[in-house]
């Protein structure tokens, strides 16, 4: 935790330089559609739909992903997904799943059972068929996933059996709807599906991934849980920069500290990990998932500086004061343990650390970037939805657009996202072409209190 005395207003680390903690400023949230993370999963599951799977904290993960993300033996990637969902409202999980589906067929039964998805996980499905002890004219068909019963149906004829979340049922044609076969059952039959395979050679298709990212709406993207030097992180950095600058898609990449050399205002680099209260140690790559979720869910008037990591009691990869300052100077977001026993984000910054006339230090603050991105995205969405092709490019039309923007910007002032805004701070003028509108806007984003300098005189 930073602190101590000071001789000039030049401290790098956030803190109260009177040997006490800096007070946090509390502001109300604005209405937001934030909280969505695009999570690049890859080919590790062996189950689930191919492409984007929409998840939230209440999802049935076994059904959708084939795994319990809270299990002790969960993979690093699934642990990272678990951490992401500590803060994110929605996760768009990008799954790659190709291969063969597990199946089961028996000449004694009027059905063929096929796993809902390809992959080796389908081999964990078992089907049990038995007479109903209470009524032998009925047949009980039970589906198990591992040891857990996930479906049970009671039927008289074969056509009554329906597919469920784990298997698809194909009815074998018979003259009597399978009743002869079912009546002939003298003992229960329990068999596992077999033949499910996962194509582990199916890597992330760059074009397919970018196409998926272009059509989805989300705030942050991450491949948390992968090795810190995995090529996917560099791919996300390049893709985010391209989508922002070529398509105006205001998204942020969140990656672990590796070899990307990131120096960009919309790439967040996580330098270390944490230890949870139950003793579980999380690497920087796994903890990156939480940062992606928290940054996605943060309101435009909110800073995550000194925001607590839920359930964390220690830092994995704790840095000295000098190393902390060096990391911050080089655009690394890191975790710090406070004397209270909690673990917090030291400073809510992104990887931008080379400043220029067009990129000042203020752009390295994620709260500032959230405001600027919201202004840009809201203006783009409003213009496309309500003005393009609908409103004349004359003085009255431009005044209408200006009034719309003033109303929106005033709401940002009221929520504490930007400083006082005046109608003179925006100009909407015609361009050189008949269909052009030129907007000049000056705003001053607010930041949170982070560095307190105080002199006590007696």
| Same domain flag for 69 and 186 | no
CATH code for position 278: 3.30.1490.450
Q: Is residue 243 part of a domain?
A: yes
Q: Tell me, yes or no, whether 238 lies in a domain.
A: yes
Lowest-pLDDT choice from 52-66, 160-174, 337-351, 421-435: 421-435
The answer to whether position 357 is within a domain reads: no
Distance, in Å, from the CA atom of 290 to the CA atom of 335, rounded to the nearest integer, reads 12
Look at residue 374 and tell me if it is in a domain: no
Indicate whether 298 and 214 sit together in one domain.
yes
| Structural domain total, the chain | 2
User: What's the average model confidence in pLDDT over 88-98?
Assistant: 96
Domain residues for the domain of 115 are 99-198
Residue 287 domain-assigned? yes
Whether 22 shows a pLDDT value over 60: the answer reads no
Is residue 193 located within the same domain as residue 283?
A: no
Residues 116 and 172 in one domain: yes
> Which CATH number does the domain housing residue 110 bear?
2.60.40.4290
239 & 187 share domain: no
76 and 110 share one domain: no
Residue 246 pLDDT level (bands cut at 50, 70, 90): confident
Q: In terms of domains, do 311 and 214 share one?
A: yes
The verdict on residue 351 lying in a domain is: no
Q: Give yes or no: residues 73 and 122 share one domain.
A: no
Q: Is residue 294 part of a domain?
A: yes
Arithmetic mean of pLDDT over the chain: 90
Q: What is the pLDDT, as a whole number, of residue 203?
A: 74
Mean pLDDT is lowest, of 281-290, 433-442, 449-458, for 449-458
Rounded to whole angstroms, the Cα distance separating 157 from 155 reads 6
Predicted confidence at residue 201, as pLDDT, reads 80
Residue 73 resides in a domain: yes
Looking at the predicted structure, is the pLDDT value of residue 259 above 90? no
- Given 345, 378, 409, the domain boundary residue is 345
Q: Which of these three, 315, 345, 375, is where a domain ends?
A: 345
Q: What are the pLDDT digits (tens) for 34-44?
A: 999 999 998 88
Instruction: Specify whether 123 is located in the same domain as 239.
Output: no
Domain end (from 345, 372, 390): 345
pTM, full prediction: 0.88
Look at residues 296, 285, 298, 283 and name the one whose alpha carbon lies nearest to residue 233: 285
pLDDT of residue 243 exceeding 60, the answer is yes
Same domain for 329 and 213, yes or no, is: yes
Give the pLDDT score at 364: 95
Do residue 81 and residue 218 come from a single domain?
yes
Q: Are residues 111 and 232 in the same domain?
A: no
Over range 23-37, report the average pLDDT.
53
Pick the range with the lowest mean pLDDT from 31-45, 121-135, 247-261: 31-45
């Amino acid at each position: 935790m930073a602190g101590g005395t000071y001789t000039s207003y030049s401290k790098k680390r956030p803190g109260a330089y009177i040997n006490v903690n800096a007070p946090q400023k509390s502001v109300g949230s604005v209405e937001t559609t934030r909280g969505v993370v695009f999570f690049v999963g890859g080919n590790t599951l062996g189950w689930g739909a191919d492409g984007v799977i929409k998840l939230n904290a209440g999802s049935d993960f076994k059904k959708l992903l084939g795994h319990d993300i809270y299990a002790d033996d969960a993979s690093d990637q699934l642990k990272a997904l678990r951490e992401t969902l500590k803060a994110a409202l929605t996760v768009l999980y990008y799954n790659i799943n190709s291969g063969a589906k597990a199946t089961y067929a028996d000449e004694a039964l009027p059905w063929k059972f096929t796993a809902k998805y390809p992959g080796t996980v389908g081999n964990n499905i078992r089907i049990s068929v038995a007479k109903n002890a209470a009524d032998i004219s009925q047949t009980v068909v039970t589906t198990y996933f591992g040891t857990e019963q996930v479906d049970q149906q009671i039927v008289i004829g074969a056509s009554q059996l329906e597919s469920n979340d784990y298997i698809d049922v194909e009815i074998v044609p018979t003259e009597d709807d399978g009743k002869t076969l079912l009546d002939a059952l003298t003992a229960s039959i329990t068999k596992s599906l077999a033949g499910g395979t996962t194509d582990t050679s199916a890597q992330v298709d760059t074009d397919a991934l970018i196409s998926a990212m272009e059509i989805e709406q989300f705030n942050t993207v991450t491949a948390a849980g992968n090795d810190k030097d995995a090529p996917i992180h560099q791919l996300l950095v390049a893709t985010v920069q391209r989508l922002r600058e070529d398509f105006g898609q205001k998204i942020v990449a969140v990656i672990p500290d590796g070899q990307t050399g990131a120096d960009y205002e919309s790439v967040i680099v996580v330098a270390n990990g944490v230890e949870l209260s139950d003793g579980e140690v999380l690497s920087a790559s796994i903890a990156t998932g939480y940062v992606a979720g928290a940054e996605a869910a943060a309101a435009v008037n909110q800073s995550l500086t000194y925001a607590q990591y839920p359930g964390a009691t220690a830092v994995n990869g704790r840095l000295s004061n000098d190393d902390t300052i060096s990391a911050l100077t080089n655009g690394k977001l890191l975790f710090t343990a406070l004397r209270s026993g909690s673990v917090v984000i030291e400073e809510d910054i992104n990887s931008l650390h080379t400043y220029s006339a067009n990129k000042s230090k203020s752009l390295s603050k994620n709260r500032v970037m959230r405001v600027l991105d919201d202004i840009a995205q809201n203006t783009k969405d409003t213009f496309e939805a309500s003005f393009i092709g609908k409103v004349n490019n004359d003085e009255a039309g431009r005044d209408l657009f200006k009034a719309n923007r003033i109303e929106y910007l005033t709401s940002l002032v009221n929520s504490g996202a930007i400083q006082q805004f005046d109608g003179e701070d925006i100009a909407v003028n015609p361009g050189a072409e008949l269909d052009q509108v030129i907007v000049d806007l000056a705003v001053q984003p607010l930041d949170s209190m982070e560095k307190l300098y105080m002199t006590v005189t007696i």
